Amino acid sequence: MRALVIDDSRAMRRIVTGILTGFGYEVRDAEHGRAALDVLDEGWLPDLATIDWNMPVMDGLQFVSVVRANPAWRAMTMMMVTSESEHTQIVRALAAGAHEYVIKPFTADAIRDKLALLGLLPQEVAL
């Protein structure tokens, strides 16, 4: 399976990439929503995108909206991974088309549980 990790923090990209690689994912990353769209435009379509909210150039909510408007990218599951933890923000993201929401700080177990709920946890990864 493929994942696209979108976060302006290099540290957070490394951490999320490490977790997903450990689950058997092939991972690419992008430092903001616009760079992530460039990856999709190349034709590299992931099963999962993890998306930070506050990023320069194009934020996570804008990215979700653009992806949702393109039927060719409909199969991609979008999981917000962000420090925006207010209920209203969660509702906004889900309304825009995100499938799941993980609040920073998180643990690898939290990511694993969300992926299991989404049916995106490779079978060889034990729960």
Partner 1 sequence: MTTTDTGERRRASDTRPVITDLIDEATVESIAAEAWVALVGEDEVLVPLPGDLPADILSSWVDVVGPWTGSVVLTTGRATAEELSRALLREHAPEVLDDEDVADAFGEIANVVGGNVKAALPGPSALSLPQVGNAPLVRNQADVCRLDVLWRGEPVAISVQGALPPLPGSTPTRKNEVS
**Please, which residue, 88 or 123, has the CB nearer to partner 1?**
88
Cis omega (within 30 of 0) for bond into 105: yes
Single out the segment in contact with partner 1 by CB under 8 A; choices: 34-42, 50-58, 94-102, 113-121.
50-58
Single out the segment in contact with partner 1 by CB under 8 A; choices: 39-47, 68-76, 105-113, 119-127.
105-113
Binding to partner 1 in span 82-101, by CB under 8 A:
82-86, 88
Between CA 95 and CA 111 the distance in angstroms is 21
What contacts 14, CB < 8 A, 6 or more positions away?
Answer: none
Between CA 26 and CA 20 the distance in angstroms is 8
Does 29 help bind partner 1 (rule: CB under 8 A)? no
Nearest-approach distance from CB 118 to partner 1, in angstroms: 21
Contact at 8 Å (CB) between 76 and 70?
Answer: no
Between CA 106 and CA 95 the distance in angstroms is 22
Does 70 help bind partner 1 (rule: CB under 8 A)? no
Interacting residues with partner 1 (CB under 8 A): 8-12, 14-15, 17-18, 54-56, 82-86, 88, 103-107
